[in-house]
Structure 1
Amino acid sequence: MNRKYKANGFILAAVVLLAILIIYTSGKDKQLYGNDNESVIKAIQSIDSHRNAEVELLETRDMGDDRYVAFLANNEPAYIHFRRNNKGNYGMIDSEGPAAYDFADFLIHPNKQAGSPPQFLFVSNERSEVAKLELSVNDETIEQTFPVGQKKATWLELPKTEGDSYRFDYKYYDEAGSLLNPPN
Structure 2
Amino acid sequence: MNRNYKSNGFILAAVALLAILILYTSGKDKQLYGNDNQSVIEVIQSIDSYRGAAVELLETRDIGADRYVAFLADGKPANIHFKQNDKGNYPMIDTEGPARHDFADFLIFPDKESGNLPQFLFVANERSEVAKLELTVNDETIVQTFPVRQKTATWLELPNTEEHAYRFAYNYYDEAGSLLHTPN
Under a length normalisation based on structure 1, what TM-score does the superposition of the two structures give?
A: 0.96
Q: Do residues 155 (structure 1) and 151 (structure 2) align?
A: no
What is the number of residues matched between the two proteins? Answer: 184
Deviations 1:81-101 (CA, angstroms, capped at 9, x unpaired): 011111111111100000111
> Which residue number corresponds to residue 142 of structure 1?
142
Query: Which residue in the other structure is 2:48 paired with?
Result: 48
Tell me, in whole angstroms, the C-alpha distance in 2 between the residues paired with 1:140 and 1:82.
31
Which residue of 2 is the match for residue 2 of structure 1? 2
Q: Using the alignment, how far apart are the partners of 1:92 and 1:30 within structure 2? A: 13
Alpha-carbon offset, residue 125 of structure 1: 0.3
- Which residues of structure 2 form unaligned runs of 5+? none
Q: C-alpha deviations, 1:60-85, integer Å up to 9, x for none?
A: 00111111000000000000001111
CA distance in 1, matches of 2:95, 2:84: 16
The answer on whether the counterparts of 2:63 and 2:116 sit within 8 Å (CA) in structure 1 is no
Separation in structure 2 between the aligned mates of residue 2 and residue 163 of structure 1, nearest angstrom: 85
How do 1:74-113 and structure 2 match up within 5 A? 74-113=74-113
Which secondary structure does the structure 2 equivalent of 1:62 belong to?
strand
Cα distance in 2 between the residues matched to 1:156 and 1:6: 72
1:116-172 CA distances to partner (integer Å, 9 max, x unpaired)?
A: 110000000011000000000000000000000000000000001113100000110
5+ residue gaps, structure 1: none
Output the TM-score relative to the length of structure 2: 0.96
* Alpha-carbon distance in 2 for matches of 1:89, 1:37: 13
Q: Look up the match of 1:115.
A: 115
Whole-Å separation in 2 of the counterparts to 1:167 and 1:41: 34
User: For residues 46 and 25 of structure 1, what CA distance do their matches in structure 2 show?
Assistant: 20
Paired with 1:118 and 1:60, the residues of 2 have a C-alpha distance of 16
Q: How does 1:119-138 map to 2 (within 5 A)?
A: 119-138=119-138
CA RMSD of aligned residues (A): 1.2
Q: Is the 8 A contact 2:63 2:114 kept in 1?
A: no
Aligned residue for 2:172? 172
* 3-state SS of 2:82 partner: strand
Q: Percent of aligned pairs with the same residue?
A: 77
- Counterparts of 2:140 and 2:30, CA distance in 1: 47
**What residue in structure 1 maps to residue 16 of structure 2?**
16
